[in-house]
Structure formats: structure tokens, C-alpha cells
Amino acid sequence: MIRCIAIDDEPLALTKMGNYIEKTPYLETVALCESAFQAIEIIQNTPVDLMFVDINMPDLSGMDFVKSLNEKPVLIFTTAYSEYAIEGFKVDALDYLLKPIEYNDFLRAANKAKTHIEGYSKKPEQLQLKEQQLFIKSEYKIVKINLPDIKYIESMREYVRIHLVNSKPVMTLISMKKLEESLPKEIFMRVHRSFIVNLNRITTIERNRIIYDDNVYIPVSEQYREEFKRYIDKYFL
């Protein structure tokens, strides 16, 4: 069973969410909370797998409540405003439900949460590496990326952009350090604070810059230059 809480300051909306949870066989109600403060106490004392959180609440909004948590259960936002979807992505929300919420929409989101909880770690960096592929979370979806298809990875502050061969880049919320640690070191190398490269995709090197076949120039910073040089020397004729 997936242990759930619902948080909403509107009594009718909260009751509806409670009914939906009870109606879904694999969900179990831990608590129905009328405020984020009440939910904080519940989460501190009771294991929770999944939260349905209203964004617009007085005193402490659902967004600020989620940002205050160190360890977050899987999160689904409920809101009357679709523009909050982008903000939800920034705090790693799995999905959002637009009010008024019908059961079929609730069930779709619940099924997504079930798949997520059963198949993936609940840490913010949704990364799993297996052989020559990885799975990342991007725009509320789990996306599979084949490692040989990666050209290079670019840091975008708290996000990274994964540049692929014959496909548009994929952006995900994860640290460069976490990603670097998860990739096979014999194929991928950090060459700059903002770049990890697929060594097999390098075509030309010029003046401490890696040049890809589409005129992309990636600098090799002084911090990583010696390690990169050792790699080149290993194959230099």
C-alpha cells in the first residue's frame, strides 16, 4: 500500500481527495490536513509515500511547504492555476492536478505515482544507471537515454542539459556532481565546471577546446586539463 496524505484548506476539496484515495485500491490514507503546518507534524512522525498538496493555502503555501522539507515524499500538486506547472517542476513534483479534479484524472496521476514508487528511487535526482542506458526525470516524464547517444552534458545552474546525437537536448533537475559520479568514467570525463563530454564523440581538439562536428566548442579548464591530457596521450600516435 502507498501511504498518502492530502493537504488542502478547502474542506470540500479535501473531502473529495480523501474519497478518491479510499476509492483507489493501492492507496492508504495517513491523514487529511487542512494546513501545511498540520502536515509537517504528520510527516515528522509518520511514514508517508505520497502527498497531494494544494498550492494556494493561507499562512504557508503548498509550494513553500514543499521547499521546507529536507526529505520529500513523492509529490502531486493540486491547483486551480495551470501556470504553476513550471514551479512544480522546480520542486520535483511528479504531476499536478487541475481543479476541479475528476476521479479519472486523479487515477492517472496515482498510477504514475505507483509506477514511480515501485520502479524508481524517491530521491530528487531520479537517476538509475544500467549497462549502457540511464533513466532521468524530465518534464514530469521518465526518459530513457542510451549512453552512446550522449554527446556532452552542460550545466545550467541547478539543471543539466544532456545533448544527444540526432535528437533534441533533454533537461533534468540534477547536480553535475551526482551525474558525473553515476556515469562510467572510461567513457565520460568532466573537462570543465560546466561540461562533461562523451570521449567517444570527440572529433577534434584545438587550443584546449574540444570541437564537435557541429561546430560546438567546449573549453577544457585548467583544473581538468592534466587528466584530459593523460587520456589523449594514451591514444596518441
Q: Whole-angstrom Cα distance, residue 109 to residue 133?
A: 26
Cell numbers for 31, please give them.
Answer: 491523514
Say if residues 140 and 87 touch (Cβ distance below 8 Å). Answer: no
Residues 210 and 141 in one domain: yes
The pLDDT, as a whole number, for residue 82 is 63
Residues 60 and 164 in one domain: no
Residues 85 and 134 in one domain: no
Q: Hey, CA dihedral for 222, 225, 227, 228, is it positive or negative? A: positive
The pLDDT, as a whole number, for residue 76 is 92
The pLDDT, as a whole number, for residue 85 is 46
CATH number of residue 175's parent domain: 2.40.50.1020
Q: Is 12 exposed, middle or buried (0-12, 13-18, 19+ CB in 10 A)?
A: exposed
The pLDDT, as a whole number, for residue 182 is 84
- The last residue of a domain, from among 119, 138, 155: 119
Residues 84 and 164 in one domain: no
Order across the sheet with 204-205: list the strands: 204-205, 209-211, 217-219
CATH number of residue 59's parent domain: 3.40.50.2300
Residues 29 and 87 in one domain: yes
Domain ranges, residue 92: 2-119
Q: Beta strand pairing status for 209-211 and 167-173?
A: unpaired
Residue whose C-alpha is closest to residue 2's, from 44, 39, 50? 50
Residues 115 and 132 in one domain: no
Cell numbers for 225, please give them.
Answer: 586539463
Residues 165 and 63 in one domain: no
The pLDDT, as a whole number, for residue 122 is 40
Using DSSP, state whether 153 is helix, strand or coil: strand
Domain total of the chain: 2
Cell numbers for 146, please give them.
Answer: 542510451
Q: Whole-angstrom Cα distance, residue 46 to residue 56?
A: 24
pLDDT in tens, the chain (237 residues): 999 999 999 999 999 999 999 999 999 999 999 999 999 988 888 899 999 999 888 888 888 888 888 778 898 999 887 655 445 444 577 888 988 999 999 999 999 999 888 764 444 444 444 457 888 888 778 888 999 999 999 998 788 999 998 889 999 988 888 888 888 888 899 999 999 999 988 888 988 899 887 678 999 999 999 999 888 888 776
Residues 94 and 152 in one domain: no
Q: How many CB atoms are located within 10 Å of the residue 44 CB?
A: 9
Residues 63 and 145 in one domain: no
- The last residue of a domain, from among 68, 98, 119: 119
The pLDDT, as a whole number, for residue 131 is 55
Q: Is 75 exposed, middle or buried (0-12, 13-18, 19+ CB in 10 A)?
A: buried
- The last residue of a domain, from among 119, 137, 166: 119
Residue whose C-alpha is closest to residue 174's, from 109, 96, 89, 112? 89
The pLDDT, as a whole number, for residue 121 is 43
The pLDDT, as a whole number, for residue 185 is 86
